Amino acid sequence: MKKINESRILVVDDQRSNLMLIERALAHYGYPNCVCDQDPFHAVDRFRKEHFDLVILDFNMPGMSGLEVLAEIGTEAWKNFVPIVMVTAQADRDTRLMMLNAGAREFIAKPFDVAELGIRVANLLEVRAMKLALRNQRDDLERRVAERTKELHDTRLEIIRRLSIAAEFRDSDTGLHVQRMSLYAETTGRALGLDSYEIDLLANASPMHDVGKIGISDLILLKPDKLTEEEFVEIKRHTVIGGQILGGHDSDLFRAAHDIALHHHEKWDGSGYPHGLSGEAIPLLARIAAVADVFDALTTERPYKHAWSPADAFAYIEEQAGRQFDPYVVRAFLASGETILSIRADNIEEQ
């Protein structure tokens, strides 16, 4: 931060003698960077183009009064804490109040006392320096808080991503399923007209849909044959386990992740699990995740099945509209078919 005696001061007065007097007085008190202007119109333009730390204005000037100059530069001056001093021969109460109400920080009566001018200028510049310092500290604090908040947010997302992949590794060779499924869900949400915040939640929460598989035995998850009735009951528990893992946190992200993990196997007609919810009683993000998850599961090779073709998977999704899936979500998903295929083509290394 520059020193106060390095401050640039703009002095506006139509009388050259007054400008010279003020300039000498300011130099005497340690303020050599004084810019004088007899033309108020030119001074206004100069203020807007150059940097000044304080302005001294004559009250009565032909063509444009000091108050009119103040009206032109006041907003910019106040925004940057630039104090404005009015100099006037009219020292009556009404005039003083008018100047102060217009935004002047100080006024000096003519003929002015040189020592008084020096003291008032020093006080105003010191106050401005303190205000600027406080603003800089506030801005720096806000920047650091924003950086820290972003760091925490990014760390949380990375933990979530790795937890999701860890769960998926138990069910497939890599974690690309959660990546594809998340992108499918995000694409579908955008086609449905969700706002950017909801789409962000969906993209970051949907990879956790199967985190509850951490609590399911590998003998069941990786079984190449058809599951027994008892084994199917056990594997359905992954939704409840996922809900327990992700529940109890008040952030929007974890609430969304909880809903998706718990309800992505619910069906539109009420025949799903774990709670047999139907229709719009199923959270919307879970309804979107359900379509994305099934499409990717169908088109991916697994120990217990061969991969379906995308065309067959699309046909199945369409067939299940109004039964397994929300028909509006299905419509949005199918309308995004080209994007879905592009995502799949970019993320098929595991097959």
Q: What is the pLDDT of residues 256-285, one digit of tens each?
A: 999 999 999 999 999 999 999 999 999 999
How far apart CA 128 and CA 107 sit, in angstroms, is: 17
Amino acid at 166: A
Amino acid at 112: F
Does one domain contain both 116 and 27?
A: yes
CB 56 within 8 A of CB 9: yes
Does one domain contain both 185 and 314?
A: yes
| The predicted structure's pLDDT at residue 350 | 45
CB 175 within 8 A of CB 169: yes
Does one domain contain both 256 and 323?
A: yes
Q: What is the DSSP letter of 106?
A: E
Q: Structural domain tally of the chain?
A: 2
CATH (domain of 254)? 1.10.3210.10
Does one domain contain both 75 and 202?
A: no
**Quick check: is 31 in a domain?**
yes
**Quick check: is 252 in a domain?**
yes
How far apart CA 210 and CA 283 sit, in angstroms, is: 16
| The predicted structure's pLDDT at residue 167 | 66
Does one domain contain both 201 and 316?
A: yes
Name the H helices within the chain.
16-28, 40-49, 66-79, 93-102, 114-169, 176-192, 196-205, 218-221, 229-235, 237-246, 252-263, 284-298, 310-319, 327-335, 337-346
Q: What is the DSSP letter of 59?
A: S
| The predicted structure's pLDDT at residue 351 | 42
| The predicted structure's pLDDT at residue 166 | 66
Does one domain contain both 50 and 195?
A: no
**Quick check: is 185 in a domain?**
yes
**Quick check: is 306 in a domain?**
yes
Helix axes 327-335, 284-298, angle to 10 degrees: 50
Q: Looking at the predicted structure, is the pLDDT value of residue 174 above 70?
A: no
Q: Looking at the predicted structure, is the pLDDT value of residue 115 above 70?
A: yes
Higher pLDDT, 63 or 91: 63
CATH (domain of 73)? 3.40.50.2300
Q: Which of 141, 157, 189 is the last residue of a domain?
A: 141
| The predicted structure's pLDDT at residue 334 | 97
**Quick check: is 149 in a domain?**
no
**Quick check: is 151 in a domain?**
no
pLDDT tens-digit map of 65-91: 888 888 888 888 888 899 988 888 776
Q: How confident is the model at residue 172 (pLDDT cuts 50, 70, 90)?
A: low
Query: Rounded mean pLDDT of 145-158?
Result: 77
The mean predicted confidence, pLDDT, of the chain is 87
| The predicted structure's pLDDT at residue 171 | 55
Q: Which of 125, 141, 157 is the last residue of a domain?
A: 141
Does one domain contain both 117 and 201?
A: no
Does one domain contain both 132 and 195?
A: no
**Quick check: is 148 in a domain?**
no
Query: Rounded mean pLDDT of 29-48?
Result: 90
Does one domain contain both 232 and 121?
A: no
Does one domain contain both 84 and 209?
A: no
Does one domain contain both 112 and 177?
A: no
Q: How confident is the model at residue 224 (pLDDT cuts 50, 70, 90)?
A: confident
The closest alpha carbon to 289, from 166, 207, 175, 169, belongs to 207
**Quick check: is 266 in a domain?**
yes
Supply the range of the domain harboring residue 94.
Answer: 4-141
Q: For residue 15, give every residue at least 6 positions away whose Cβ sits within 8 Å of its Cβ, in sequence order, or none.
A: 38, 58
Least confident of 2-11, 155-164, 239-248, 283-292: 155-164
Q: SS3 string of 132-190?
A: HHHHHHHHHHHHHHHHHHHHHHHHHHHHHHHHHHHHHHCCCCCCHHHHHHHHHHHHHHH
| The predicted structure's pLDDT at residue 349 | 57
Dig out the tokens for 84 from the structure.
Answer: 């404005």
Does one domain contain both 47 and 112?
A: yes
